Each structure stands twice: as C-alpha cells, then as structure tokens.
Chains A and B, each alone.
Chain A
C-alpha cells in the first residue's frame, strides 16, 4: 500500500478524490507558519542544550508536517496523548516555550497542566501512553460525548507489548481512539526494517483497526487523511491507526550522534523531501507567499526564539531535594544519606 500523497516533494499538488481537501492560501499559510515556528523553537532548544541550559532535548526536525497536519485536524477539545518529541503539535495547542522546556532543564517533572490544553504530559516510557489513551477513550465512550482521543507514538514504540495490547483492546472495545504513528525510520539507532516484518498499518488491520498510511512529510495529505479518519471515529466508526511515514532529521536526542549509524546520503535523500520546503514550493508557485509574509514570519520566529532563550535562562537553579521525600513514605537510612550527599553537593556549587 502506497502512502497517501497530495503534495509531491517538488511541490506539485494532485488532489485525491478519496481524501478531499480544500487547499486555500489561508490553510497553506497557517500550516507553513506553524511549521516554521516549530522548527525555530526546536533549533533554539537545541542551542540551549549545547549551551548547558538544558539537560536533554529531543528534536522534532523533519516531523513538523506529521504533527501540525494531524493535530490541526482534531478539535481543540479532543484529548491528545503525546510521546516526547511532539513540540510542533504542542505549539499548535498553545503550549508555551517555558512549559515545553522546563522538564528538560530538570526544574519540573512535567511542564504543563494537561487538562488545560487537552494535551497530556510527555511520556518517556515507550508506548506507556497507548494503554493510557485506550483507557481514557473508554471513559469518553462511557460519557457518551462526541469527543475523540488521539495518541502519538513512534515506530520503535510500536514494538512494545503495551502498544499491541492497546491496539487489540481499543479494537475489541470499539473506543473512539486515533493511533497516530510517526514512522521516522529510526528508534535511536535501530532502523524500522529490522524491528518488524510487516508494516505497522498492515499489522494494525490484523488487530481489527481501520488503518491508513500517509506521506508524513506532506502536510496536506496528513491533514486530509487525519481529518477524514477523525470524523469517522467521531461518528462511531471505532478506533483507527494512521502511519505517517516521515524522517527524524536530527539525532535521537542531544546525546546521540546519528552519523555513527546512518549515512549522509540517507539524510540527503530526506532533506530533499523536507516538509517545509515542499509546502513553500507550492505556495511560491501559486503566488501565496510574498516578501511581506516571509518577513512577518521571520519576525515572529525571532521573537519566539528570544522568548525561548529568556524563559529558559530565567528558570533558575534546580531544586531536586523533593525527590528524596516523594517516592517512599518513610525515609530509609540510604535515602537519608543520599539526601545529605545531594545537599552537600548543592552547597558546593559557587553560583
């Protein structure tokens, strides 16, 4: 099964009657702006990690179309369970740079109030969010509202037992849940093709899920497919899975060096399919982008970058003493000793 594609890598739009989408200048400008801002934010966070301001960062570079196209196809009230690199999706829900950074600085265990944004906290235990989402969707089902639930996860996470339990149970229970996999070809250094013999969308059908595969670097295709599938779920059609074929253009995290396990030519071939450049080609050809719009988006990006740097530097020192009292009800001698050592270390820092 070929991934659904509406916009070819060179920016040519070909409508698909199976996945109708009214492509307007406004729609494209909105997608474009959000993807550019997301990438700028991501780059800024990377720089902050390299400057010692963040402990770790997992970049979303290359996956902007998959995230922006999909989350904007949901209602703002649909509850979303992200994994850990869904910055582009999070920004669409209005999360702030401070909320997105604070946990990676170590100042908080999670950054935002999930109820406020209808966007769950990041989950770092691979695939743990899939059963959570399934359970949440069972609740929605029992409430009888027309809300749906969406869960983001990676190709690697799909190998976890929990993912497959969730696929099965969601299908068996018929809950209103959209499984959205960003197949970015890599799980740290493990390529997708050695993790599974059958493509994920094919496996999903075996569980009884309605499944689709889409070009994840084509924001229009992602949007068209997600919108249609979301509405089908909302209408009571049961859970579904979308596999968005995309590419992690950066390392797995700031601790990772992808040149150790993948070739420059592979990266090049995906750079030619960059989701932002692709949409821009269409907009240029259609005359939907001019210097004024570019300048306006550049100003907005600069402001976002500046805010990102500012809030990160304002976080201040990290207080981790809470960890020692939060896990066990009673202090053990070992914990007390560790706490004492930690406090001595903190005192030893001059600044």
Chain B
C-alpha cells in the first residue's frame, strides 16, 4: 500500500481512545497488536478494545513507528485518553508528542486526563424542576416506581434535566431506618403486629438483597411430563427408593443438576467486590422448603456426584431435618443453584427470586391434566409449567433459555435423557 500524505508523520502523535459506539464513556484494552518500535501503516489494526457494546479493533490513523504504548492490556481507559504514540520513521523515541491536530468526534477536553465532561455530576434537585411543574421520569422508571410502590412526587431527582432515575427510585424504595414516631402513634385496632425475627427476618433481608442487586429475568416453559409421572410411579415401587420420598421434585432436581453440569456458567455467582464471575465446580443443589418457621433453603452438597437413589435419600433427609428445625448451619449455606416447588400448593407458576449469590432458580409448578397435543391428536396429558429465574448480570437470555429447555427436555423424556447422563 502506498503511503498517503496526510497520514505520514513529521512528529510524534498520540492516538486517543475514540468513542466507537455513540456515547460510550470508556473501554478496556484487550490486546495490543503492535509493540514499541513496530512500523505501522494507516488502517493497520493497533489494538483490540472491549466496550460496553462490543469487541472492536482500532485501526491506525498514522503511518509511522510506535514510540510508546500508553495503556496496559486489561486497563479500562476513558474516552479521549491517549493510548499510543506514533512517530515518524526516524524519530528519537522520546520526543515530545504534538498536540492532537483537530477536535475529533467523542474526544474530551484536554488538561483533564481526557475525562469527558458530557455528564454532569448528579446533584439531587427537587422533584419538580420541570417548567410545567411535572415530575420527569422515563416510562420504565415510572413503572419501576409503581412496582415498588414509590410515589415519584416524593423522590429527589438526580438525572439530567431534573429527571428521576432508576437509582433514585431504588434509593427511595430501599428500607430506610424506620422512624419511630410513625409506629408509636395512635393504637391500630385492625392490625396485628408481629415482630419479624429469625427466619422471617433473614428471608426478608435475603429477598430484598437479591431482588435489588441481581437483575432478575424469568422464563417459562410448559412441558408434557406424562412420562415423568409414570417413571415416578415405577421408582416408588423400586426397593432402592424405600424410605425416600419420590415425587416430581426428584426428577426435576435431577434434570436441573444435569443442566447445570452441561451449562456450568449457570452454576455461578456474581462477585461484585472483585468484579468477577465465580463458577462453581460442584453443583450444590438448594431445595426451598416451607417449614413451620418459614422458608429455608438447605442444599445437597455435590449433588452431581450422587446416583438417583442417593439423591432421593439426600433430599428426603435434608427436607425432613429442615422441617424439624434441626438443619445444621452447613446445610443452609453453600448452595449454588436452587429448586423450588410451588406445585405442591396447587399453583401453576411463579417468578422465583434468586437465593442471594446464586445465578439461577428453577420453579416447579403443579402437575395437572391438560388437553395437549400428543402424536398429532389432542389427549389428556400430565403437564407442568417450569419457570427459571436467572441473574441477568452473568446469565444471558440465550444461556438461561438453553438451561430451561434442557430441563424441560429431560422431564419430557426422562428415561431416555437420564440414561444418557
């Protein structure tokens, strides 16, 4: 390729991280494709970066020799920050960089470490800043407020143009330290106040934490489980299962374990502090159990290593001890994925909330007789609805869908599928 006049350098120039995606603030340097001393030609790929939207290769705007790499691999860099210096062929390596020639799209002001000043600092402004005195919030934020029972008129706005942001609503919804006067006022004859303690209090805290940190997505799948119903009957008669409770829950547990082993990324946690995804090598299957003291979730450790009769025995034992309030602390912690069964209450489906720290929870609905297409005709079949909630920070729709589909497929043809495991 012939050198092109305007890209050939007379002095050292810096290339600043551009905004490659309409309003991005920063990007991470994934890998450098050139090193100091390398000759580069215009449009030669210099570096691969990862933005919030995609992996992108940045081509060189210059012809010259790399004099310095200004950002390390793995480093997250603000848009507008110089990331590489390129000089003329024969340049002394340390010559002073020239000021960048023109204002380029997305480049930030100089003398500020390249920090863009697009976004104003969120300063809380009163809730009625609009010219027309109306509360300003986007429709999804309004919906969130409705869902959380927050009155937007009372929420301080920190967004641009005095708009109320999602965070503002969540802040307003977060359990504030309770103010005593409101509670010790006049007697309330129509209510009974029950001190929240123990399991109830822990459950409440765990649910709030989970619901407001992990962005939940729930997917549903209705499956024909007639074959599973038959298998459950057969297993009940088998000596290996004597003493164990054999129900649809057992097969669902087995199916979930299988899916978690097949798609290990769903058997994982989000570590916010470390900024890491923690993938668990073992499947510790949590079973949500209603006990007289409230909901507890004991877990079967390394459930993936158990045979079906062993799993049946383990679940039976675990749920029994939990019901009796004898579960050991070890039983109640360390779960990596959870199964909950609301079918026993005669309910079809729900949107389960994740056990904090886990990436997925499967909810089993009631098994009921349903007119269903079977072999080209309508037949009365046993069906159930499965619901899988997952933490959208680390589980994408595709993965979640595959896991749910897999569980469904196993329950539809349990013998065939479980035989392959």
Contacts and interface: CB of A to CB of B under 8 A. Distances in A.
Contacts of B105: 52-55, 105-106, 318
Contact of A52 (B18, B117, B131): B18
B59 interface: yes
B55 interface: yes
Interface in B100-140: 100-112, 117-118, 131
B168 to A, nearest CB: 20
A317 B103 CA distance: 6
A255 B7 contact: no
A94 interface: no
B178 to A, nearest CB: 39
B402 to A, nearest CB: 14
B42 interface: yes
Interface string A291-310: 00000000000100110011
A318 B55 contact: no
A306 B4 contact: yes
Interface stretch (A43-51, A85-93, A111-119, A164-172): A43-51
B6 A310 contact: yes
Interface in A230-257: 251, 254-257
A334 B161 contact: yes
B61 interface: yes
A259 B56 CA distance: 11
Interface string B1-18: 110111100000001111
A329 interface: no
A144 interface: no
Contacts of B101: 313, 351
B131 A333 contact: yes
Interface residues of A, number: 36
Contacts of A52: 16-20, 104-107
Interface residues on B, range: 35 or more
Contacts of B103: 316-318, 349, 351
Contacts of A350: 99, 109-111
A313 B100 CA distance: 12
- Residue picked from B1, B100, B109, B161, most chain A C-beta under 10 Å: B109
A335 B18 CA distance: 28
A313 B5 CA distance: 12
A54 B106 CA distance: 9
A194 interface: no
Interface string A310-345: 100100111000000000000011100000000001
A282 B344 CA distance: 69
Contact of B22 (A50, A55, A259): A55
Interface string B34-51: 000000001100000000
B43 A257 contact: no
Contact of A351 (B43, B57, B100): B100
Nearest to B43: A47
B21 interface: yes
Given A53-B105, A351-B110, A254 B21 contact: yes
Given A257-B54, A309-B6, A332-B131, 17 more contacts: A51-B58, A51-B61, A52-B20, A53-B105, A55-B105, A255-B22, A255-B53, A256-B54, A257-B53, A259-B55, A309-B4, A309-B7, A316-B102, A333-B131, A348-B112, A351-B101, A351-B102
